[in-house]
């Protein structure tokens, strides 16, 4: 039995949230491919992250997948990872996980203060702006409201808002909320500082709670039935070769990070050509040439806003829905990346964006990543492939909206021991 199972709606979220446990020394693995057999992971793994890959699924389909994942879990504690910008099938997945876990309550704290995600008076913010008013509100699965209570309006459950001040001196009314209702309630907790998340985790420790949060809360949830092991804090060993990155995110944060990568290291792939199903042979050759010369390469179809718009326009012209455009770009980039990796083993692999990360990992016949406990920056963990054609190769995953302006450069440097 695992001590904790983390059920996440995308891969980068599964990785950065599981990191909250790995960083404390707990043996942690993430099943990256949602189609993988769960028995591929050793039962003695203390913390298991599971990527359901349901963020852009139909709401009912997503709820059923999450319910199955939680129901199949053999774990003392269930942690439902949600997006720190509230994208995806937020309320439906929490409701499904709570039913499947049979817990007394869902303790909801999506804040991640160290990367600018906070909650106050039940309203969620990104860098001080209500989340629905940011670029994340424009996402096809973005939050319609910044009020977490509003997002649960479609779910037949009582919702309580608990202030961080109340949680600083006891359970903040959690016990009263559990006793007040016949059905397990959703308890939404404010948090604007990391200390508040620690108070939330401590307050819930005496309850059979379904923990619901992003990477921030995971750093404080108690792990029952296991002790942290001794873990080296040194970076993963680098093989000969150079760092290889594949960037699939079109987040403004990621585009700004790409501007800091030396121009010669960026290998652009034509997005409209990917939409049309064309193979990016020239980009593959250019990336291979750089890696063979011992120089890092970053493959991307989203070099700037103009490139992103050209890709979307090509999709509209072809009459494709946005989901189909996203899939074609992800699969095209993954095909190019695996063609490169078939020829050259890099010193490490960086994958940015959940869709592209899953597509590349699947293309490598890999299923599982074991976390080292190290991270490049907050929310950007370092792991190694357990299986597949790149078994043993270091891997960093980065959510599109995470990281400093130098984050991609810093990820490449971890693998190369040098600047890009």
For 79-144, what is the HEC assignment? EEECCCCCCCCHHHHHHHHHHHHCCCEEEEECCEHHHCEEEECCEEEECCEEHHHCHHHHCCCCCC
Non-local CB neighbours of 286 within 8 Å, separated by 6+ positions: 267, 297
Phi, psi torsion values for 227, nearest 5 degrees: -110, 145
The reported pLDDT for the residue numbered 391 is 93
Residue 236 has pLDDT above 60, yes or no: no
DSSP string, 37-63: -GGGS-TT-SEEEEE---TTS-HHHHH
The reported pLDDT for the residue numbered 199 is 92
Residue 239 has pLDDT above 70, yes or no: no
pLDDT band at 34 (very low <50, low <70, confident <90, very high): confident
The reported pLDDT for the residue numbered 160 is 94
Query: Is pLDDT larger for residue 162 or for residue 419?
Result: 162
- The mean pLDDT value of the chain amounts to 91
46 is written with which tokens? 């203390």
Mean pLDDT to the nearest integer, 113-131: 96
pLDDT band at 419 (very low <50, low <70, confident <90, very high): very low
| 383 neighbors 372 (Cβ within 8 angstroms) | yes
pLDDT band at 37 (very low <50, low <70, confident <90, very high): low
Residue 40 has pLDDT above 80, yes or no: no
pLDDT band at 306 (very low <50, low <70, confident <90, very high): very high
Residue 124 has pLDDT above 50, yes or no: yes
Compute CA distances 26 → 72, 249, 316, 362, 394, whole Å.
22, 30, 47, 26, 18
pLDDT band at 353 (very low <50, low <70, confident <90, very high): confident
Mean pLDDT to the nearest integer, 289-307: 93
The reported pLDDT for the residue numbered 206 is 84
The reported pLDDT for the residue numbered 224 is 86
| 258 neighbors 362 (Cβ within 8 angstroms) | no
DSSP string, 365-413: T--EEEEEEEEEETTEEEEEE-SSTTTT-EEEEE-TT-S-TTHHHHHHH
| 381 neighbors 397 (Cβ within 8 angstroms) | yes
**Minimum mean pLDDT range among 105-109, 248-252, 390-394:** 248-252
pLDDT band at 227 (very low <50, low <70, confident <90, very high): confident
DSSP-assigned beta bridge partners for residue 51: 8
Which of 349, 401, 347, 346 has the alpha carbon at shortest distance from 377? 401
Q: Please, is 260 exposed, middle or buried when counting C-beta atoms within 10 Å of its C-beta (0-12, 13-18, 19+)? A: middle
CA torsion sign, 364 to 370 to 376 to 377? positive
**Minimum mean pLDDT range among 56-65, 138-147, 185-194, 353-362:** 353-362
Residue 225 has pLDDT above 90, yes or no: no
Compute CA distances 90 → 30, 45, 143, 147, 177, whole Å.
21, 27, 8, 12, 21
Whole-angstrom distance, CA of residue 213 vs CA of residue 171: 18
| 183 neighbors 157 (Cβ within 8 angstroms) | yes
Element counts in the chain: helices (H) and strands (E): 15, 18
The reported pLDDT for the residue numbered 232 is 45
Residue 226 has pLDDT above 90, yes or no: no
């Amino acid at each position: 039995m695992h001590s904790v199972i983390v059920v996440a709606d995308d891969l980068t979220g599964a990785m950065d949230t599981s990191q909250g446990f790995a960083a404390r020394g707990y043996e942690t693995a993430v099943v990256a491919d949602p189609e993988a057999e769960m028995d591929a992971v050793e039962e003695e793994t203390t913390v298991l992250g599971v990527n359901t890959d349901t963020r852009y699924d139909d709401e009912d389909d997503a709820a059923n997948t999450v319910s199955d994942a939680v129901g199949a879990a053999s774990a003392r504690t269930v942690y439902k990872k949600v997006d720190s910008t509230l994208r995806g099938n937020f309320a439906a997945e929490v409701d499904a996980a709570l039913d499947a876990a049979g817990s007394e309550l869902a303790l909801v704290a999506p804040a991640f203060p160290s990367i600018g995600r906070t909650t106050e008076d039940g309203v969620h913010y990104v860098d001080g702006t209500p989340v629905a008013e940011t670029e994340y509100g424009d996402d096809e699965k973005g939050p319609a409201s910044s009020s977490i209570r509003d997002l649960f309006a479609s779910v037949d459950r009582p919702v309580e808002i608990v202030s961080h001040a109340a949680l600083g001196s006891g359970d903040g009314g959690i016990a009263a909320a559990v006793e007040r209702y016949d059905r397990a309630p959703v308890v939404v907790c404010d948090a604007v500082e990391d200390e508040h998340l620690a108070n939330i985790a401590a307050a819930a420790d005496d309850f059979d709670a379904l923990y619901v949060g992003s990477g921030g809360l995971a750093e404080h949830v108690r792990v029952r039935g296991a002790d942290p092991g001794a873990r080296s804090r040194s970076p993963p060993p680098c093989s000969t070769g150079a760092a290889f990155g594949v960037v699939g995110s079109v987040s403004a944060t990621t585009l700004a990070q790409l501007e800091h990568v030396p121009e010669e290291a960026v290998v652009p792939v034509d997005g409209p050509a990917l939409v049309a199903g064309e193979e990016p042979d020239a980009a593959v050759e250019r990336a291979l040439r750089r890696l063979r010369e011992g120089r890092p390469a970053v493959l991307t179809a989203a070099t700037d806003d103009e490139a992103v718009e050209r890709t979307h326009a090509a999709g509209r012209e072809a009459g494709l829905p946005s989901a189909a455009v996203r899939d074609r770009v992800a699969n095209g980039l993954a095909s190019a990346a695996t063609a490169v990796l078939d020829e050259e083993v890099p010193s490490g692999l960086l994958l940015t964006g959940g869709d592209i990360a899953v597509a590349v990992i699947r293309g490598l016949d890999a299923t599982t990543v074991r976390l080292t406990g190290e991270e490049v920056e907050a929310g950007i963990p370092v792991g190694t492939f357990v299986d597949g054609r790149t078994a043993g190769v270091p891997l960093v995953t980065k959510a599109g909206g995470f990281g400093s302006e130098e984050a991609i450069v810093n990820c490449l440097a971890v693998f190369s021991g040098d600047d890009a």
